[in-house]
Amino acid sequence: MSDIHTAATARGSYPPYYRWLQLVMGIICMAMIANLQYGWTLFVDPIDARHHWGRAAIQLAFSIFVVTETWLVPVEAWFVDRYGPKIVIAFGGVMIAIAWVLNSYASALPVLYLSAVIAGIGAGSVYGTCVGNALKWFPDRRGLAAGATAAGFGAGAAITVVPIAKMIAASGYEQAFFTFGLGQGIIVLALAFFINRPAFAIPPVKRQVRVPQTKIDYTPAQTIRTPIFWIMYVTFVMVAAGGLMAAAQIAPIAHDFKIANVPVSLVGFQMAALTFAISLDRIFDGFGRPFFGWVSDNIGREHTMAIAFTIGAISLLTLANYGREPIVFVLASAVYFGVFGEIYSLFPATSGDTFGAKYATTNNGMLYTAKGTASLLVPLASILAASYGWSAVFIVAVTLNVLAALSALFVIKPIRLAFINATHDAAPVGVTKVRAA
């Protein structure tokens, strides 16, 4: 791999397949950190049954993980820009292994919280690096590339949900933490040494770009001072809040609805409703990220956001009103996660289009901290549910999705287009000006 990279650099070009190989390796690394977020819900009730700490206290660890994972990405991205992706991803692999091994021994809440910090640092190192690298390798297909990379994170847990659930039932949650923590960390560490960034700008491609793109590469300091960045940030928070609450609380919701262990038969498969829901959620989430990224490459980022956010609101309403039916619970949650995950492809792609490719890793890292901000609402969902029931949580999430859909069409779209068009008069070289999709 290193020989190919060296030869390609010497020639001034890469083999045609090389960037796709980089994309695939990034996807695998993302899949290896997926359980840190999407497998967490399987551990909440077993931990509570063992230690009686309460769901809200345990879910605080989830919020700490997400905050650490997201808010430190700009720092980790700086290291990527300075030292390259290898060392940052390798560091992430070591950290995620340490975190879950530590979870397996945690007998006090502070240890659980410390492990969440370590896991967040590791996951953020891998996530921010892989998505940023995809944006740099694929300026012509940013939506698809970011979506495919994010799909690794969204769907990666699907293949391990059943094995983790079975290991928890057979050997206890501690053994599951230990075994999967080591395995996931080792794979990320091994792949890190084969991941490279472009040694120079990717040459212009012949493919017609159908979305507005800037001519200027904005530095992080310039990006954070633009109004459009903060409008996108707030919209990201609104959608991510509902999705993170659902991801963290899906198991407690199923238990409270008294359907967690009810068998569900669908397309020839039969599983307990909760296991089936989580597995299908990961599959739909993984499919939705590259699909909506591809759609946005063709019809525009904001139009795609509005469609996805609206479907998400409808899915949550269905789950709130009819989710006590096991089959409805499985299907409605799957559809919701299928449209929720697209924020992790659309917002990075929109960031790259708006602020340029040169600093894409750091700029997207700053935007990605919105996920950490949204995660602060996760423990509040447990408190709200305890006081007013899960319907109150669903109402909040539905409202946020509707507001985000309206923001995408009537706020982000016109302001971002005006911002990008202004850059065409400021720089002589760049992507050809295009009209709004």
Domain harbouring 420, CATH code: 1.20.1250.20
Nearest one of 91, 411, 153 to 282, comparing CA atoms? 153
When pLDDT is averaged across residues 75-91 and rounded to a whole number, the result is 87
Select the more confidently predicted residue: 59 or 5: 59
**Domain annotation covers residue 120:** yes
On whether residue 371 sits in a domain, the answer given is yes
Q: What is the pLDDT of residue 399?
A: 93
Band of residue 87 on the pLDDT scale cut at 50, 70, 90: very high
Task: Point out the least confidently predicted range of 44-53, 116-125, 196-205, 289-298.
Answer: 196-205
Going by pLDDT thresholds of 50, 70 and 90, the confidence category of residue 431 is: very low
Task: Output the pLDDT for position 435.
Answer: 43
Number of independent structural domains in the chain: 1
DSSP 408: I
Lowest mean pLDDT among 200-204, 326-330, 381-385: 200-204
The answer, yes or no, to whether residue 286 has pLDDT greater than 50, is yes
- Are the CB atoms for 222 and 360 separated by under 8 Å? no
Q: What is the mean pLDDT of residues 232-248?
A: 88
Of 5-19, 88-102, 135-149, give the lowest mean pLDDT range: 5-19
Which pLDDT belongs to residue 91? 96
Rounded-to-integer distance, Cα 303 and Cα 298, Å: 10
CA dist., res. 14 & res. 5, Å (int): 7
Whether the Cβ atoms of residue 397 and residue 175 lie closer than 8 Å to each other? no
- Give which of 328, 301, 331 is closest to 409, Cα–Cα: 301
> Quick one: which H or E segment has residue 394?
helix 390-407
Q: What percent of the chain has pLDDT over 90?
A: 46
Its domain, for residue 17, covers 2-201+209-424
d(CA 428, CA 424): 7
Residue 308 has pLDDT above 80, yes or no: yes
Please report whether residue 436 resides in a domain: no
Mean pLDDT, residues 33-41? 85
Highest mean pLDDT out of 3-7, 156-160, 192-196: 192-196
User: Is residue 437 situated within a structural domain?
Assistant: no
The least confident of 39-48, 227-236, 312-321 is 39-48
pLDDT in tens, 365-375: 899 899 888 88
Report which DSSP code applies to 201. P
The reported pLDDT for the residue numbered 311 is 96
pTM equals 0.75
Radius of gyration (C-alpha) of the chain in whole angstroms: 21
Q: Which two structure tokens, joined as six digits, stand for 183?
A: 């395995």
* 431 part of a folded domain: no
Name the residue among 237, 243, 262 with its Cα closest to residue 319.
243
Range of lowest pLDDT (36-45, 145-154, 426-435): 426-435
Cα diameter, the chain: 65
| pLDDT at residue 8, as a whole number | 41
Q: What is the pLDDT of residue 182?
A: 94
What stretch of H or E contains 265? strand 263-266
On whether residue 338 sits in a domain, the answer given is yes
| Environment class of 393 (CB within 10 Å of its CB; exposed 0-12, middle 13-18, buried 19+) | buried
pLDDT digits (tens, 9 = 90+) for 317-373: 999 999 999 999 999 999 999 999 889 889 988 998 999 877 887 898 899 899 888
Alpha carbon dihedral 330, 336, 339, 343, in 10-degree steps, equals: -120
Q: Are 71 and 367 in contact (CB under 8 A)?
A: no
| Average pLDDT score over the chain | 85
* pLDDT of 100 over the 90 cut: yes
**206: helix, coil or strand?**
coil
Residue 426: band (very low, low, confident or very high) from pLDDT cuts 50, 70, 90: low
In a domain, 278, yes or no: yes
Residue 385 lies in a domain: yes
Q: Which residue has the tokens 């960031």?
A: 351
Residue 302: pLDDT above 60?
Answer: yes
